Amino acid sequence: MNRRDFLKNTARVIGGITLPLTAFKIINPRELLASTGDTEKVRWVFLVDTYKCVGCGMCVRACKLENEIPYDAKVTRTWVERYVITKDGKTHADSPMGARDGFTTSKIDLGIDGYEEIKNQDIDKGFFVPKLCNQCANPPCVQVCPVGATFQVPDGVVLVDRTWCIGCGYCIMACPYGVRFFHPVYHTAEKCTFCYHRITKGMKTACVDACPFGARQIGNLKDPNDPVTKVIMTERVGILKEEYGTKPQVYYLGLDREVK
């Protein structure tokens, strides 16, 4: 081997070793545990199985009643989206009243444009995706609050202080997932709390308890024996809008490219 080949091969080997490490770096839930270096015993995470969800909307109803969100107001902490992908490649999505009353028609709700009828034989894929606050590891909604009314508890849940919120709406604009809204009664920013009053008492969230099909689960990412942690660590899970760098902590099974 001459010197030229030696140098060429060395460069190739070094390039080969370093490239895959950086090029294929994706979010790893374990990293969150290690990098923070904190001593917290709990990090709440959520797992949604979209294969199991049938779109009954019982979770939305339970959430509204449990968390005192005015029932007929068009705001909700959690909602279920329906996606129907037809053979012509088009995606049809809706969530009438956040699916509070489920999906009791095959027509897609287009809002002010009425309803769109879709024939069963035209459907390629059809599924339901429950959505809720992602309790991000880097919550942009908390960063933008000018008065310190919204904050993250060390166990990962993002809360809003109703007595301190001035209702400026910055956080509502900052959330890439659109999970925040103004509470119609208190006129302050409102969001899913992972039912903080329930999970801190050892109960599950109202939506998890209301789901007959086990499509929603809540767990503790710092407990390696937690069934939710096991699924997140060993199965193919997806997260929403990874490119924003918010590190969302609601993991999805069976997420499709069309789901935003």
Cα-Cα-Cα-Cα dihedral of 235, 241, 242, 245, to 10°? -140
Query: Looking at beta carbons only, is 182 or 233 nearer to another protein?
Result: 182
Q: Does 197 bind another protein (CB under 8 A)?
A: yes
153 belongs to the binding site for another protein (CB under 8 A): yes
Q: Residues in contact with another protein, total (CB under 8 A)?
A: 59
Token pair belonging to 34? 């290690």
Q: Which DSSP string corresponds to 155-204? A: TS-EEE-TTT-----HHHHH-TT---EE-TTT-SEE---S-HHHHTTT--
State how far the Cα of 32 lies from the Cα of 46, in Å rounded to an integer. Answer: 15
Q: Look-up: residue for tokens 């053979």?
A: 87
Least distance from another protein to the Cβ atom of residue 25, Å: 24
**Region of 4-12, 98-106, 226-234, 239-247 interacting with another protein (CB under 8 A):** 98-106
**Closest CA relative to residue 83, chosen from 112, 125, 133:** 125
Among 126, 169, 176, 238, binds another protein (CB under 8 A): 126
The single residue among 73, 106, 226, 247 that binds another protein, judged by CB under 8 A, is 106
**Based on CB atoms, which residue is closest to another protein, 45 or 215?**
215
CB of 41 to another protein, least distance (A): 13
Cβ atoms 246, 140 nearer than 8 A: yes
Q: What residues make contact with another protein under the rule CB under 8 A? A: 38, 40, 50-58, 61-62, 65-67, 84, 101-106, 120, 123-128, 139, 142-143, 148-154, 159, 161-164, 193, 196-198, 200-201, 203, 206, 209-210, 212-213, 215, 254
